[in-house]
Amino acid sequence: MPLYKTINPNTYTSIFVWKIDESLDELSQDIALNDRSKSRLSSMKSELHQRGFLSVRHLLKEAGYTDFDLYYTANGKPHLKDKKHISITHSFNFSAIIISDVEVGIDVEKNREKIKIIQHKFINFERGFIHQDDDYIEQLTVIWGAKESLYKIYPHGGLTFKNDIDINSFQIADKKTTGYIKVKGWDKVYTIQFEQLENFTLVYALDNSKKKKT
């Protein structure tokens, strides 16, 4: 299907969301890949992952880029050649990218019961405000997605979700909160925004420490 949704949190940030309904052959049409991407695609054993990978290239096209405008650093972090910040995510039949003049991270996750079983691996500070009577699975998924988004922003790696990233209090109806990375010298508070896409949770983080110069 064509582009599922666009979101513009501010004048210098754009989010593009794709619902992956197409076959692998359909997604392969009219998309040129660089040599690195061709190698990555051919090495993927799961067709689901291949379709997610190609859907991201369609999102780049929607944003006015091609696969040749995208490159990765040694730690796997994506960058655009025009110096804009980008973050990428896909899960099952949804993919999304966020492009901005400031640091950004994005994550999309399916809402699943499984997250209640693994919550001890990433919940710490947040235990003080989550409520089992307020869409408990969605709350946990927002927290996971927020921490994943901040993890993607931090350029040096080595963070743990449980001990190095905190998400501040929220309710699902708020659709936003804040979060921060607890690393010495990294004194930034990030805006966290989230919404439901069918049975998925989309979460993205925006750097609040600097604004686009006018």
What digits encode the pLDDT tens for the residues 173-197?
Answer: 999 999 999 998 898 899 999 999 9
Q: What is the mean pLDDT of the chain?
A: 93
The predicted pLDDT at position 214 comes to 42
Same domain? For 145 and 175 the reply is yes
Q: Is 71 part of any domain?
A: yes
Quick one: average pLDDT of 115-126? 95
Indicate if the pLDDT at residue 76 is higher than 90.
Answer: no
Q: Is 214 part of any domain?
A: no
Same domain? For 113 and 74 the reply is no
**Which residue, of 77, 101, 125, is where some domain finishes?**
101
Same domain? For 41 and 66 the reply is yes
Closest C-alpha among 106, 81, 105 to residue 18:
106
The predicted pLDDT at position 1 comes to 56
CATH number of the domain where residue 194 is located: 3.90.470.20
Same domain? For 88 and 140 the reply is no
Same domain? For 21 and 82 the reply is yes
Q: Is 213 part of any domain?
A: no
- Count of domains in the chain? 2
Domain span holding position 14: 3-101
Q: Is 146 part of any domain?
A: yes
**Which residue, of 61, 82, 101, is where some domain finishes?**
101
Same domain? For 87 and 11 the reply is yes
